[in-house]
Amino acid sequence: MSEVESTLLDKQKLKIANKRTEDLQRMHNQAQEHINKLSEIINRTNLELIDKNDTILNLVERIKAELINSDEQINTLNILAKESVQSIEKLNDYIIVHEKRIREQKIREQKMTEEIQRIERNEAIKFRRNLEKLKNETHTFIGRYVREGRKRNVIGTIESTILLRDIKLSGCEDILSDHIWINKHPKFEKINLQENDLIEISAQVVPYEKIARRYEGMCLGTKDSKTIIDYRLAYPTRVKNLSKNLFI
């Protein structure tokens, strides 16, 4: 090989080497650019991660604080629940005691009612027996005027009546009857009756039938009724208002 050819070959090799060097430099530059971009991305990502980490840490701290607060609230609620249970138990105890007292009170009231009914029954029987002794006899009686009333007679018409209480025989202190109804005779219109006036009346003791519903032996406590004999004052011959000194 000649010297010229050798020189040309060396130049060609140098050119190829330079080209490879340039390619390598260009690849190096590109790689460096990629590395720089990756570094920026990594730095930016690290910053974002730091921010997110701070956010997560703050969130964790807030959650911890909320959990602590929730635990305190749960403890408070547990205390309130225990107090409520104790209050309910006390209230239940009070209700039980109160219901027991109510039952006892009802029993006492029932016994009292039965005793009153027994006394009233005995009084009613006694009063009827007192008047029964005077059956069909005319006597002078004294009683206190209470009020007027109305009743339907045997033929279905309405009649006016008056109610007297604490009926006694004139001149006697014993009460023959606690009350008695009398047909309102025209004589009563003339003596100006007012409540609690003391009335003297001469009348006949007359038996009559009535429906009894109040006392034992007369279907007490049932809807059934029973006809019994009672007594009233009828056929007044003399009427006097002792409180006003008016008489007919």
> SS3 sequence, 105-155?
HHHHHHHHHHHHHHHHHHHHHHHHHHHHCCCCCEEEEEEEEEEEEEEECCC
Does residue 109 lie within any of the structural domains?
no
Q: How far is the C-alpha of 235 from the C-alpha of 229, rounded, in Å?
A: 19
Contact 166, 145 (CB under 8 A): no
Tokens of 230: 């009672």
Q: How far is the C-alpha of 117 from the C-alpha of 97, rounded, in Å?
A: 30
Task: Look at residue 218 in the predicted model and tell me its pLDDT.
Answer: 42
Mean pLDDT of the chain: 80
Task: Look at residue 18 in the predicted model and tell me its pLDDT.
Answer: 79
pLDDT tens for each residue of 53-66: 888 888 888 888 88
Paired residues of 247 in beta bridges: 240
Does residue 204 lie within any of the structural domains?
yes
**Which residue range forms the structural domain that includes residue 242?**
133-247
Predicted structure pTM score: 0.46
Do 90 and 146 sit in the same domain of this protein? no
In the chain, what is the straight-line distance between the N-terminal and C-terminal CA atoms, in Å? 187
Do 89 and 144 sit in the same domain of this protein? no
- Which region, left, alpha or beta, applies to residue 235 given φ > 0 means left and ψ of -120 to 50 means alpha? left
Does residue 117 lie within any of the structural domains?
no
Among residues 74, 95, 116, the one where a domain terminates is 95
Q: Domain count for the chain, please give it.
A: 2
CA distances from 193 to 40, 151, 159, 162, 187 (A): 122, 19, 18, 10, 11
Task: Look at residue 222 in the predicted model and tell me its pLDDT.
Answer: 45
CA distances from 206 to 73, 106, 192, 197, 242 (A): 86, 41, 26, 24, 24
Q: Which residues in the chain show pLDDT less than 50?
A: 215-223
Q: How far is the C-alpha of 4 from the C-alpha of 73, rounded, in Å?
A: 100
**Amino acid (1-letter code) at residue 161:** T
Among residues 49, 77, 95, the one where a domain terminates is 95
pLDDT tens for each residue of 146-178: 998 888 777 778 888 888 888 888 888 888 888
Does residue 116 lie within any of the structural domains?
no
Pseudo-torsion of CA 165, 168, 170, 174, nearest 10°? -140
